[in-house]
Amino acid sequence: MFEATDLNRRDARTQRLVRALFLLMTVLLAAPVLLILGVLLVKGGTMLSWDFLFTEPTNGMTAGGVLPALVGTVWLVAIALLASVPVGVAAAVYLSEYAPDNVLTRVINLAIINLAGVPSIVHALFGLGAFVIFFGFGTSILAASLTLAIMTLPVVIVATREALQAVPHAFREACWNMGATRWQTIWRVVLPNAVSGILTGVILEVSRTAGETAPIMFTGAAFFLPFLPASVFDQTMAMSLHLFVIATQVPDVPEALPYGVALVLIGMVLAMNALSIGLRTWLRQKKKW
């Protein structure tokens, strides 16, 4: 039976202190989120109902529901994901698995870093010039979604690169020794083992895409459209812009209405994130290492 020395006891006290410090930091980070959710529930919880979710705004957006904005946000997020995830994953595969360390690679990495730091309003003006005017998409779901896709590309690229680099290099060497090509190794071994990490970038993209307002104001979101979009070339309402409009632009709005819209927006983002996290957890459980 070993007896604890002074050094052991001092290390144990330090460990408890550090653990308590990290716990305090975690609580401090979570407290504002819980406080915001609590305020929204208290002030906007009375608005939540099936009618609120599945009806159109009425009386100049001072009554009714959020169905067009809800559906429009799903359109925007889905198309932005379809546009950005394949391009972002392909770019990350090239940078991680193929690209040599040369001037071109360094320029690409610098461009990715700079793209991540560009304000959203600048992306909005770029989307207006590139997709709305130059490509002729007009103010539409497609133009807004492509603008959001470009804005969130750095998140997907960085998350995918980290996931690819986390796959042990021994996996690649084993495949190469069996005669597999580089692409066969990436497609059959590296990507399947990195997909759970790639989904981390997708989760972050969903959260940012659903909550952005400036990029879609100029490219595809409408102030008020009491009907559902029929194609990607239509305009649409969006939850973030709808919240901004009723909170700042529409007079005589019931006090609970903006809080109710905010609750629906947060709930939708949480639902999308929960789905992605569940899929990521399931894929991680299938790993053999």
* pTM over 0.85, yes/no: yes
Q: What is the mean pLDDT of residues 92-97?
A: 92
- The whole-angstrom separation of Cα 268 and Cα 207 is 9
Structural domain boundaries in the chain: 6-47, 50-285
Q: What is the mean pLDDT of residues 120-131?
A: 93
Mean pLDDT, the chain, integer: 89
Give tens-digit pLDDT for 199-211.
888 888 888 888 8
CA distances, 79 to each of 5, 11, 58, 152 (Å): 62, 53, 28, 12
Residue ranges of alpha helices (H) inside the chain are: 6-44, 50-54, 67-93, 103-116, 120-127, 141-166, 169-177, 182-185, 191-211, 214-217, 239-248, 256-285
Q: What is the mean pLDDT of residues 271-284?
A: 80
Q: Are 73 and 210 in contact (CB under 8 A)?
A: yes
Q: Are 65 and 57 in contact (CB under 8 A)?
A: yes
CATH number among 1.10.540.10, 1.20.1200.10, 1.10.3720.10, 3.90.1170.50, domain 50-285: 1.10.3720.10
Q: Could you count the other beta carbons within 10 Å of the beta carbon of residue 115?
A: 15
20-43 core/surface letters (b: 16 or more CB in 10 A; e: else): eeeeeeeeeeeeeeeeeeeebeeb
- Greatest CA span in the chain, whole angstroms? 80
Instruction: Give the pLDDT confidence score for residue 24 in this predicted structure.
Output: 95
